[in-house]
Amino acid sequence: MEADFVIVGAGSGGSALGYRLAEAGHQVLMIEHGGTDMGPFIQMPAALSYPMNMGIYDWGFASEPEPHLGGRRLVTPRGKVIGGSSSINGMVFVRGHAKDFDHWAETGAAGWGYADVLPYFKRMESWHGGADGGDAAYRGTSGPMHITRGPRRNPLFKAFIEAGAAAGYGQTADYNGARQEGFGPMEATIWKGRRWSTANAYLRPALKGGRLRIVRGLARRVVFEGKRAVGVEIARGGQIEVIRARAEVVLAASAINTPKLLMLSGVGPGAHLHSHGIEVLADRPGVGANLQDHLEIYMQFAAQQPITLFKYWNLWGKALIGAQWLFTKTGLGASNQFEACGFIRSDKGVDYPDIQYHFLPIAVRYDGKAAAEGHGFQVHTGPMRSKSRGRVSLRSADPAAVPEIRFNYMSHPDDWEEFRKAVRLTREIFAQVPMAAHVKHEIQPGAGVQSDAEIDAFIRDHAESAYHPCGTARMGAADDPGAVVDPEGRVIGVEGLRVADSSVFPRITNGNLNAPSIMVGEKVADHILGRRLPPEDRPAWIAPDWQAAQR
């Protein structure tokens, strides 16, 4: 089997890339270990807690014991299914802040500043949020990804946004437009009541066109002739075979599996590869390094009135919601329930937001396993730009072995200071009149948790991953010894091999990572095809008095 391009991973970056290459007339073979995404647990937005906890859809990764979180192992879900993590995620759509991408460009990813990436964010989306106002000049109207907003019928969404305003923060009609900072409606990859994953948006249309085909199998390594990538070795049906690429191989296998595949193929830190008996083709110490993620806590509050989603938290309630969704694709089943959000700065002197809020009108664990003491609501919050860095390493040279994942969460002292501020600023927001009318008491951390030491202990015991791993094949200048890919997405030190997923992020972006991951696939496709959308130099709102005031 051979094609012009062989892509490993049918996820967010890989799907967008495959669609664009096929659209341009190329033959594309996509290797995906996972299977179909057609089950109701994936397609129904409100069922989001299920697929990320199902072995059929998830790789089942977990971190090594985290030394700064009391030795806890944190789960690290990654999609093992058509659509990848876009088929199992929370469907929240956040591009990131303009300054995130300008930072990428400043640190060596030339051509990836905000002006460069904005046209790709626009190309990939069909935006349906204009009824609330918003920034049409910043948004796309004819792309494969449909972006919508929840109906915000529950009064708690409005109360949360108004509490932010009462605390002195601004509001934003479109955090994916000119102004991220402030409180407002949240956007989602949901369309006509269904999860709008990259499988629905990109893969299905590309498969219909006939130029893209998906091969089910486990990618074992990239095959090289000399220093040129010529194919991918896969295991399927008990056999080992090589799928050959006439032009290039592209890895889009996630920030966990992409560095693993690079190392299995001889590209990575030389001494580490030698220790596993792997011949070194290109000694790149940055492969697997620079691992970043967002860590968050759930601040939960008991509700004064029985208006939360807890009333449906029983077999009968879930059955009713499920039945309504199954037959009409409407109702509570058609929303991820993340319909209001906020982005704020933790302190004066911080020029753009570094704390994010996802508001949810029920107090429940992300995995859906436990609802807290009856009617309640919660906000997911944490710092956006942790200075802690981790690493993905090989456990063995066996391609079927799970890699070692060490996030090294909270290893930088600034993380603790930023997290404490997030807790205290959140309490202040929930104490404002619009929200205070709904708060009976704080469930967690709880009113007794006040001192730095008490807050730190709560974080150590309860912080969870927001499931945003990235950075393990960092993009940078070709002469940067720590970079793995150049600004064209090409793996440095070899030929015919690129990366097109969140591995390439030099630094984690503000907010959820699905949108920028898709954008990377869109943009790398153009790098491969030798074309570029012209940059759009549009302003991004920065608080005028950011140096002197926190809000």
Query: Of 535, 527, 470, 496, which is closest to residue 12 (Cα–Cα)?
Result: 470
57: which residues sit within 8 A by CB, 6+ positions away?
34, 37, 41, 42, 51, 79, 80, 81, 87, 88
User: How far apart are alpha carbons 447 and 160 in whole angstroms?
Assistant: 20
Read off the pLDDT of residues 408-446 as tens digits, 9 standing for 90 and up.
999 999 999 999 999 999 999 999 999 999 999 999 999
What is the pLDDT at residue 132? 86
- Given the residues 97, 146, 468, 527, the one annotated as active site: 468
Read off the pLDDT of residues 227-253 as tens digits, 9 standing for 90 and up.
999 999 999 999 999 999 999 999 999
Residues 428, 431, 435, 438: what is their CA dihedral angle, to the nearest 10 degrees?
A: 140
Read off the pLDDT of residues 340-359 as tens digits, 9 standing for 90 and up.
999 999 999 999 999 999 99
What is the pLDDT at residue 195? 98
Q: Is the pLDDT of residue 306 over 70?
A: yes
- What's the number of CA atoms in the CB half-sphere (13 Å) around residue 71? 0
Q: Is 177 annotated as a binding residue?
A: no
Q: Is the pLDDT of residue 173 over 90?
A: yes
H, E, C per residue of 280-316: CCEECCCCCCCEECCEEEEEEEEECCCCCHHHHCCHH
Read off the pLDDT of residues 376-403 as tens digits, 9 standing for 90 and up.
999 999 999 999 999 999 999 999 999 9
Confidence label for 200 from pLDDT (cuts 50, 70 and 90): very high
Whether the CB-CB separation of 231 and 242 falls below 8 Å is answered with yes
Token pair for 487: 């600004």
User: How far apart are alpha carbons 342 and 180 in whole angstroms?
Assistant: 9
What is the pLDDT at residue 508? 98
Element (H, E) at 185: strand 182-185
Tell me what the mean pLDDT of segment 182-191 comes to: 98
What is the pLDDT at residue 298? 95
Residues 141, 145, 151, 154: what is their CA dihedral angle, to the nearest 10 degrees?
A: -140
Predicted TM-score of the model (pTM): 0.98
Query: Of 361, 343, 346, 365, which is closest to residue 53 (Cα–Cα)?
Result: 365
The torsion region of residue 126 among left (phi > 0), alpha (psi -120 to 50) and beta comes to beta
Q: Is 81 annotated as a binding residue?
A: yes
Q: What fold characterizes domain 151-185+295-383+411-462?
A: Cholesterol Oxidase; domain 2 (3.30.410)
Q: Is the pLDDT of residue 321 over 90?
A: yes
- In the chain, CATH 3.30.410.40 sits at 151-185+295-383+411-462
- In the chain, CATH 3.50.50.60 sits at 1-96+188-293+389-409+467-532
Residue 468 falls in the annotated catalytic set: yes
Q: Is the pLDDT of residue 364 over 90?
A: no
- β-strand pairing of 340-344 with 355-360: antiparallel
Tell me what the mean pLDDT of segment 492-516 comes to: 98
Query: Of 163, 384, 391, 412, which is closest to residue 255 (Cα–Cα)?
Result: 391
Alpha-helical segments (H) within 167-253: 198, 204-209
Q: What is the DSSP letter of 402?
A: P
User: How far apart are alpha carbons 522 and 279 in whole angstroms?
Assistant: 33
Q: What is the CATH number of domain 1-96+188-293+389-409+467-532?
A: 3.50.50.60
**Gyration radius (Cα) of the chain, Å:** 22
Q: Is 89 annotated as a binding residue?
A: yes
Q: Is the pLDDT of residue 366 over 70?
A: no
What is the pLDDT at residue 370? 64
Q: Is 90 annotated as a binding residue?
A: yes
Q: Is 154 annotated as a binding residue?
A: no
Q: What is the mean pLDDT of the chain?
A: 97
What is the pLDDT at residue 365? 75
Tell me what the mean pLDDT of segment 110-133 comes to: 96
